[in-house]
Structures are given as C-alpha cells and as structure tokens.
Structure 1
Amino acid sequence: MLIDLSGKTALVTGSTQGIGAAIAAGLAAAGAGVAINGRSEASVDEAVTRLGVNGGTFIAAPGDIATDGGAEAVFAAVPDVDILVNSLGIFGSRPALEIEDAEWRRYFDTNVLTAVRMIRHYLPGMVERSWGRIQNIASDSAVAIPAEMIHYGMSKTALLAVSRGFAKEAAGTGVTVNAVIAGPTHTGGVEDFVHELVGADLPWDEAQGRFMREYRPQSLLQRLIEPEEIANMVVYLSSPFASATTGGAVRVDGGYVDSILP
C-alpha cells in the first residue's frame, strides 16, 4: 500500500520526542509537511533539525498548548492543517489516595483539554474543505485502568469520549476523527517509568522483561511496542485509504486489552 500525503499539512502536538516524533517522521516520509510542536523554541528547533536529517518538510510550531497563549502561538504558526494528531500527554505513577485535586486537573488539562482546544480550532477549516483527519493518541490505560496511575487512565478514557463526540460533529463532512489506543510503548520516558517501578540498577532488557511480567502481563507481544509501530497506524489513518474509519478507537496495543472489540 503506497500512502502519498503530498500536499497535505499535518500538526503533531507533543512531537519533539517519543511517539509524537515517530509519528511526525512517518507522516513526513509519506510526503506531508509536518509541524513540530513542543513547549520551548529550543526543543522544537532541535527536533526539526534532527528529524530533517532523513529528509521531509518540517515546520516549527512551538507553544505550550495547555495554555491559551501557547495555543495561540501554534495557531499563528500553522493557521490550517489537513491532519491533526493530538499526541501531547503526560504520565506517571502515584498511589491513588495520594493524587490531589491539582494533579487531577493537570492531567485533564494536559491530556484532554489540549486536544479539545486543537480540534475546536482546526476542525472548521477541514469541514469547509471537505477533507481532514484528526487522531487523538489514547492508551490501553483508557480501558484497562492501571492501579498505579488512575489519573492518567481517567484522562485517556475521556479522550476516547472526545474522539467519538467530535466524530459525530464531523459526520458527513469528509473529515474523520479517531482515537488510537497505543499499548505499552518504548520511549525514553517509559524507560524511566519502568526503572522507577522495577529498580533503577537493572539492565534495560531485564528491566523491560520484569516490567512486562509484573505490570503488563496481558500483553500478547510480551515486549514494549516501538514508537514507529504506533506511527504506522497513524499514517494509515491519515491517508485516503482510511476514509471509512471514523468514530473509532483503533488499537495498536500488542493485544494488551483483553477484548475482541476495540
């Protein structure tokens, strides 16, 4: 399947590293011009330079989209997009009874409200042009809530609802809206998280194996997913080939969620 996104402009939030950077690279490899977003100009410029080594067209769109001012800066840098991927997210473990109100709000504001803010701005232009792709990067934690980070799971569950709701708002317009349920994925942040749970001194292969056995035993892959594997699904859903897929929660979870339905 040859996916050609030439002439399309994409914005990937939270794309200076990890899953977001892999998605940006995948979209650019398919021919899209891709706006890179992060909180600081320095981190965005570094990511644009690093990703651009392999070719492709990248645009700097710095701004903390959890704030009104940061979002406005991104809108000014990228007024219209054809493909919007809401990849920004935070995560971390904390005992349930120790999660205070401010932390609950921070997770909702960062993982949910930023996506709403981006969709609210870019969806009208997509509808006017009768074509667009919106994807919200969710998590297996949206369905299988982890006991050690229920605040994170809550935010990703809400993101599924946001995706389904905006898909209804875009019904019949040629714009599709989906959530992508990413399973346990190998990123720098996850490496830190794994070592935090299983021991900082363990070699990585041993730490990963122990983490999967003790904390994610449901995984049918029995390994962490690589960011490029998430990006492959996102690139497909961004393409004309996915024109009949909307309102869905599409799983790239390594079989982690024990269900025959999404």
Structure 2
Amino acid sequence: MRIDLTGRTALVTGSTQGIGAAIAVALARAGARVGVNGRDERRVTESVEALAREVPGAQPVPVAADVSTDEGAARVAKLLPRVDILVNNLGVFNVADPLEITDAEWRRFFEVNVLAAVRLTRLYLPGMTERGWGRVQYVASDSAVVIPAEMIHYGMSKTALLAVSRGFAKKAAGTGVTVNSVVAGPTHTGGVEDFVYELVDRELPWEEAQREFMRRHRPQSLLQRLIEPEEIAHMVVYLASDQASATTGGALRVDGGYIDSILP
C-alpha cells in the first residue's frame, strides 16, 4: 500500500523519544511535514536534526512547548497554526501503590495524559472540519482495558482517552475528519530492556530474554514478544491516510493480541 501524505502537516506530541519519535519518522517518510514536540528545547532540536538525517528531504518543525499547560498549547498554535494530522502521543506513567497515590498525582496524570490531548483537539479540530479533511489520533494503551493494579492512575487516563476519542469522533461526524485511538500493547521503549533483565536471566541474548519475559510475565500476549515502536507507527500512518477515510470512532489495537477480546 502506497501512502502519500505530501502536503499534510502533522503534530506528534511527546515525540522526542520512544513511540512518538517513531511516529514522527514514519509520518515524515510518508511525506508529511511533522511538528516534533517536547518540553526541552535542546532535546527537540536534537530530535529534529536526527529526523532530518533519517529522512532525507524531510522538513520537520521544532515545537518546544509543554502542551499540558494553556501557555504551552498557545505556543504550539503560534508555531503550527494549521495542523491536518494531530497525534496525541504525550503520556507519563509510573508504578505506585494504589492506596498511596496522592490527589496531586491523580490530577497530574489526568492533566498530562488526557487534558493535554483534549486541549489540542479543541484547538485544531475546528480548522480541520472547516477544510473538510483531518485526522485526530490518541495513543492509548492496553492498560486502558487491562487495568494494572500497580498503575491504576495510568490505566484510568488511558481509559479516559478512549472515551474522549469516541466523543470527538461524534462531534466530527460527517465533516471528512476522522478521530480514532490506537491501543498500544507492551512496547520496546527506553528503559524496557533494563526492566526485562531485572526479571529474567541477564546472560540471555535480547531476543531470547524478551520472549522469556513475555512468556513468564505477559503470557496473554499472542505475539510473545515486545512490540517495536515502528509497528505502532505503521498503524498511525495508515489512520492518517486517505485509505482510512471510513475508519472513525474506533479503538484500533496494536497490542500483539494482549487484550483477550474478539471485539475492538
């Protein structure tokens, strides 16, 4: 399938590393002009330079701003006044005893993981509907459905994203704009290798180690390995394309079969 996003402008929040960085690269390869976002200006600059090296001819736009704040969103709007493809990838997570998560931490997870996406959708959706074309996506997680006992606050925020996505899809009904969420499963991102080797034999080669980890600690995965960020990016690029014009209001899984369900 040939996907051509030439002439489209995309914004990927939290795209200086991990899944977000992979999505930014994949969109740029498809021809989109990509806004690379992060809070740290130096890291954003380095990420833009790395993307430009990886995708010759790409013209990424540095968007250094904390989109979890009103001020940050206003800065984004100034740097990228028009966005055709909005990928709400920004998210934080940590492990915590459910009974010791403070009110402040609950609020932080909601504001960063949910409200930042809502704020940017409010900002860019009207322009998309006016032009009759647009793509809004939310990067959710298997934790939205399989709530982890050690990360209830994180799971809550990802469940909320599924509701937000479905609701905005209804708001955009009939306009030519699609709104979807991408449900990512256990993914090979920064720090994950150290985490895996804390639980399995450190002498094992990485491929064997991750499979042993999945077998022992994520046995419900049908893929039986960690998902690579690029594999999630493929779904995002497809949903951003004209080929996905009839897909909206959905929660599309790139979870390796982790969620035990035959329906999305």
TM value normalised by structure 1: 0.95
Within-5 A mapping of 1:26-105 = 26-54=26-54, 55=56, 56-105=58-107
**Matching residue's letter, 2:28:** A
Alpha-carbon spacing, 1:109–1:199, altered in 2? closer, same or farther (3 Å):
farther
Alpha-carbon spacing, 1:111–1:190, altered in 2? closer, same or farther (3 Å):
farther
**Which of 204, 218, 221 is residue 219 of structure 1 equivalent to?**
221
**Matching residue's letter, 1:18:** G
Preserved CA contact (<8 Å) 2:200 2:212? no
Q: Tell me the secondary structure at the aligned position of residue 57 of structure 1.
A: coil
Name the count of aligned residue pairs: 261
Alpha-carbon spacing, 1:152–1:192, altered in 2? closer, same or farther (3 Å):
farther
Within-5 A mapping of 1:1-262 = 1-54=1-54, 55=56, 56-194=58-196, 198=199, 205=206, 208-262=210-264
Q: Tell me the secondary structure at the aligned position of residue 66 of structure 1.
A: coil
Preserved CA contact (<8 Å) 2:189 2:229? yes
**Matching residue's letter, 1:198:** L
Aligned-pair CA distance for 1:111: 0.6
Alpha-carbon spacing, 1:137–1:108, altered in 2? closer, same or farther (3 Å):
same
Separation in 1, partners of 2:205, 2:110? 31
Preserved CA contact (<8 Å) 1:4 1:239? yes
Aligned-pair CA distance for 1:98: 1.7
Alpha-carbon spacing, 1:194–1:103, altered in 2? closer, same or farther (3 Å):
farther
TM value normalised by structure 2: 0.94
Preserved CA contact (<8 Å) 2:8 2:84? yes
| Alpha-carbon displacement from aligned partner over 1:113-167 (angstroms, at most 9, x marks no partner) | 0100110000000000000000000001101111121111110000000000000
Mean CA deviation greater in 207-216 or 177-186: 207-216
What is the alpha-carbon root mean square deviation over aligned residues? 1.6
Structure 2: where are the runs of 5+ without partners?
none
Structure 1: where are the runs of 5+ without partners?
none
**Matching residue's letter, 1:28:** A
Preserved CA contact (<8 Å) 1:182 1:230? yes
